[in-house]
Amino acid sequence: MAQVSGRQVFAERTAVLLITIVMLLPVVWLITTAYKPSNQIFSIPPRLDFQPTLDQFRNIFGYFDVVSLLRSSVAISLGTTVLSLLLGVPSGYALARSRSRYATGFAYFFLAIRMVPAIASLIPFYLMMRDIGLLGSWWAVVIINTMLNCAFVTWMMFSYFRALPRDMEEAALTDGCTQLGAFFKVAVPAARSGIIACVLFCVMFSWNDFLYPMFLTTLDSKPLSVALLTAYGTKDITWGSLGALAHFSTIPIVLMALFLNRYFVQGATNGVQ
């Protein structure tokens, strides 16, 4: 945009700054509750000042098996991400490069799958897992999460590869490179940033997911997201433990998205530019 007065820029920046601060206040509250003693969280009237303490962290390690929760969360998101990429990146590539007239139709099919409400497939899936004896293990969560996420990855990579020129791969193929070689040595490196965006979103979706693990896992296989609900519900466990637990469940994802912001933006605006 053309030249504007410094005053206007200043006004805009002040507005943006104020909006950002107001939007982030609830997040700041969540983080700070973790360092408040319980009697100061529940004071009348509610107050903002507090003496910092690490009691809440000691509490959650007493109430929850935090290591086991973390292990489940990591297993679920790692499994989902790896499987989704293994399935989704090649299929996105194939659909983008195919000259079949059904290719775009298939790509839209993956997009549509992503839009289906979770509950519609969850109930039959629940019965299916019960019948084959996977109910209660985090494998069940990985299997259904992979379905949704590989659909997402396929769609993302489809639009990403379609925007990349074919010339490089075709040159590699005519130079005697194998089909797989052209994919791994030429196409995948060229699509690196799209793949990073996919990883970010897969980790985020599966780590934050709560509906599937709530019904598909049991006490010893449940991830952090399910534990958060129990952290809130019980009487002697307080908002403080919610805040403390969020340090493990929420803050890592937020930081990851913040540091990989470029890829987050890329993934979220896929299809606009």
Partner 1 sequence: MSQTSSTGVQPRTQTPRLAWLSRPRSFTDSRRFFLFFMAAPAVLYVLVVGVWPLAQGFWYSFFRYNLIRPQRTKFIGLDNYIAIFEDRGARQAIVNTFQFTLTSVGLQLFFGFCLALLLWRDSRFNRIALAFLLIPATITPLVVGLIYKALLGADYGLIGYYLANAGIGPRTGLLTDAGTALWVLILIDCWEWTPLMALILLAGLKSLPTDVLEASRADGATAWQRFTLIVLPLMLPSIFLALVLRTMDAFRVFDSVFVTTGGGPNDATNTLMVLAVKEGLQFFNIGYASAIGNITILFIACMAAVLLLVVRRADVRINGK
Contacts with partner 1 in 108-167 (CB under 8 A)? 109-110, 113, 115-128, 143-144, 146-148, 150-151, 154, 166
Residue 52 CB, nearest distance to partner 1 (Å)? 18
The pattern of x and - marking residues 36 through 55 that bind partner 1 according to CB under 8 A reads -----xxxxxx-x-------
Residue 223 CB, nearest distance to partner 1 (Å)? 11
Residue 106 binds partner 1, judged by CB under 8 A: yes
Residue 192 CB, nearest distance to partner 1 (Å)? 18
Residue 17 binds partner 1, judged by CB under 8 A: yes
**Residue 39 burial (CB count, 10 A):** 9
Residue 170 binds partner 1, judged by CB under 8 A: yes
Query: Among residues 16, 54, 163, 219, which is the contact residue for partner 1, using CB under 8 A?
Result: 16
Question: Scanning residues 56 to 85, which ones bind partner 1 (CB under 8 A)?
Answer: none
Residue 239 binds partner 1, judged by CB under 8 A: yes
For residues 253 and 168, the answer to whether their CB atoms sit within 8 Å is no
Residues touching partner 1, count (CB under 8 A): 95
For residues 89 and 153, the answer to whether their CB atoms sit within 8 Å is yes
Residue closer to partner 1 (CB basis): 71 or 166? 166
Question: Scanning residues 197 to 236, which ones bind partner 1 (CB under 8 A)?
Answer: 204, 207-208, 210-211, 215, 225, 228-229, 232
For residues 187 and 167, the answer to whether their CB atoms sit within 8 Å is no
Which residues share a beta bridge with 217?
136
